Copies of this chain bind each other. A is one copy, B any other.
């Protein structure tokens, strides 16, 4: 183990050239004669030279990394979004740092601060609270921020999201077309814009079919988790058969999977006793014992596009903020047919 890592200076000494030449070998190899280059490279190999990225960054003023602050590391949806971001970053030879706020505003703040201190090129974030002030300050101080899978009032940021109202509409329309007239909407907590938008879409589908809002019964949950899905299932099945919905639309797939499990455990048959539609179309939705009908969001594409917007903003100073909205798609599977 070397006591101190070799620096360009050491390499220069070993190769018998100036340190500027070593730097040229690294950054503009064409300006260096082949012999010199060979000598320098040999010296690097002998000394096990490794570039010091901190020093590069200090000099350059910015790092060559992006960051994604994801909302919930245990939801595969976000892992897929991250993967899309990574692909875009890779294409530009940038690194991606992934942080996980785990739905806690306090962790999110810590990460945002650190990332700003790192001088990352920019930050992609699915925020705990899209209206948090910190999201304004960062761009004001020079670190671009793109909001992923959320929207935000005003035209202060670029954002990439999916049309949740339309998604809700697709899901509900599908159930209505299958003849269901008593549909449960399972989701919460309500302050989440997505939970509300998807419900709005469902109401729209009802209205379009000439049905009143009473055909959709709300079953609130405290979070969008498998466990909450199970609990919702219990409550649902607890209802007297006459007033029990024949179909359920869940605000995400985790809820739907929990619901599905609870229903199977309680000996209900899916989709005969209860048709289920989820949201997100995570891989585990297709992998469920009764494959889940779900509203697919273009997860990778979401990440990819967000990264592109970020890079555009990072390179072009007078850039116009853009709100990209993707279109969701219904994927019909066994849980509704």
Contacts and interface: CB of A to CB of B under 8 A. Distances in A.
Interface of A: 1-2, 5, 48, 50-55, 57-58, 63, 73-74, 76, 79-80, 82-83, 86, 95-100, 102, 111, 114, 116-119, 137, 139-142, 226, 257-258, 260-261, 264-265, 283-284, 287-291, 317, 334
Given A73-B83, A100-B83, A261-B291, A54 B284 contact: no
12 contacts: A1-B140, A5-B119, A5-B142, A50-B117, A52-B119, A53-B114, A54-B119, A58-B58, A73-B79, A79-B79, A261-B287, A289-B289
Going nearest first, the 8 A-B pairs with the smallest beta carbon separation are: A289-B289, A54-B57, A53-B117, A54-B58, A264-B289, A226-B287, A98-B98, A54-B54
Contacts of A86: 100
Contact of A284 (B79, B97, B118, B284): B284
Given A50-B141, A257-B287, A258-B287, 6 more contacts: A5-B119, A74-B76, A74-B83, A97-B97, A226-B284, A264-B290
Nearest to A64: B114
A3 to B, nearest CB: 9
A95 B107 CA distance: 11
Contacts of A5: 119, 141-142
